[in-house]
Amino acid sequence: MKRTKRIGILTGGGDCPGLNAAIRAVTKTAIFSHRMEVIGVEDGFDGLIKNKTRRLETKDVSGILTLGGTILGTSNRANPFAYGEEKKDVSKEAIKNFRYLKLDALVCMGGDGTLHIAHQFSQLGMPIVAIPKTIDNDVGATDFTLGFDSAVAVATEAIDNIHSTAESHHRVMIIELMGRYTGWVALHAGVAGGGDIILIPEVPYRMEKICQEVKRRSKFGKRFSIMVVAEGVRSEDRELVIKRRVKASTDPIRLGGIGYKIARQIEDLTGLETRVIVLGHLQRGGRPTDFDRILATQFGKKAVDLVLAEEFGSMTSLQCGEVTKVPIESAIKNLKKVNLDSPLIGAARGVGTCFGD
């Protein structure tokens, strides 16, 4: 009799709403529809290196659809090909544990860093299927990633809430958002929240243009301005503001502080009182939106389909409303940035939004 198929699931990189919904979808589809065994790998690739696993049953994933975070835990420092501060290659240990667990496939959920690792293992022959997850939405070959819509919802609510205090005190309010080197979160939340000025990494800003805009608004009776700033924006000198560096991480650079830098310049150049709100990890927390719950369910089911079809080295993808598959390699080839010809940028400019250029 043929052995029951056994698949593993891991979540790597930063957490976000929608991961638990995807874990639930993979587990329930595998068990209910195909009588598979499901093994949860804990703390990302660290669990594969150290053999930290647990069997998942349907009861383990019941009720987690609405939960943020990941019940399996995660890590953005556990790169098996460059592990720890010494950057040691322990990939053979991970492969050894994969075989010890008698897994037929591994479903990896993650962003750019996790997907690069998944691709490397795939090239070494490990049967892998990936699900794209990141609030930054910077993974190529898919319109949206898990967690992005939820992060935009959190950021939009924060912008909504800051309007009243900005207007009451006649201040310039800067909301600094995550997004790394792309402006997807800032653009979508800025438009949804009615930001007067939106700064994204794809559009280098000019300080004089920003000051000109806040003074123009003040002159015409708008005694406050809402500015939405992506953490990775650069002025025309192209210099990033880096908060700190974490050597052991797959991406050692930690961005942050650009909002305070711009605030100081605005106060010095215009005399207008300016305040900064940094949302930070609030964007990663909370309940997933309905969009992310639905996308996670579809991605999870599709991932199991790809395992059964033995289409390894593939990633689930949303393209023009349809859930499909793409090679992992195509998803990590280039960082997906906001297109300057984007209809959303055009619509924002149409209603008078300034992009600092």
Contact predicate 342/190, CB 8 Å: no
User: Is 113 a residue whose pLDDT tops 70?
Assistant: yes
pLDDT at residue 296, rounded to an integer: 98
pLDDT at residue 272, rounded to an integer: 87
Same CATH fold, 150-285+339-350 and 6-146+286-332?
A: yes
Contact predicate 201/182, CB 8 Å: yes
Phi, psi angles (nearest 5°) of residue 134? -175, 135
pLDDT in tens, 44-90: 999 999 999 999 999 999 999 999 999 999 998 899 999 988 889 99
Phi, psi angles (nearest 5°) of residue 252? -65, -20
Percent of the chain with pLDDT over 70: 97
- The fold of 6-146+286-332 is Rossmann fold (3.40.50)
pLDDT at residue 249, rounded to an integer: 66
How many secondary structure helices (H) and strands (E) does the chain include? Answer: 13, 13
- Which of 13-22, 115-124, 267-276 comes out lowest in average pLDDT? 267-276
Q: Across-strand partners of 195?
A: none
223 vs 138, more confident:
138
| Sequence-ordered list of residues with C-beta below 8 angstroms from that of 161, at least 6 positions apart, any chain | none
The residue extents of the domains of the chain are: 6-146+286-332, 150-285+339-350
Beta sheet of 6-11, edge-to-edge order: 53-56, 37-41, 6-11, 105-110, 128-132, 314-319, 322-327
Inter-helix orientation angle 207-219/258-270, to 10°:
60
User: Is 116 a residue whose pLDDT tops 50?
Assistant: yes
pLDDT in tens, 148-206: 999 999 999 999 999 888 888 778 999 999 999 999 999 999 999 999 999 999 999 99
Positions annotated as catalytic residues are 136
Q: How confident is the model at residue 244 (pLDDT cuts 50, 70, 90)?
A: confident
pLDDT in tens, 305-328: 999 999 999 999 999 999 999 999
User: Is 35 a residue whose pLDDT tops 90?
Assistant: yes
Look up residue 142 and give its two tokens. Answer: 């898919």
Task: Indicate the CATH number for domain 150-285+339-350.
Answer: 3.40.50.460
Look up residue 243 and give its two tokens. Answer: 């908060």
DSSP state of 211: H
pLDDT at residue 1, rounded to an integer: 47
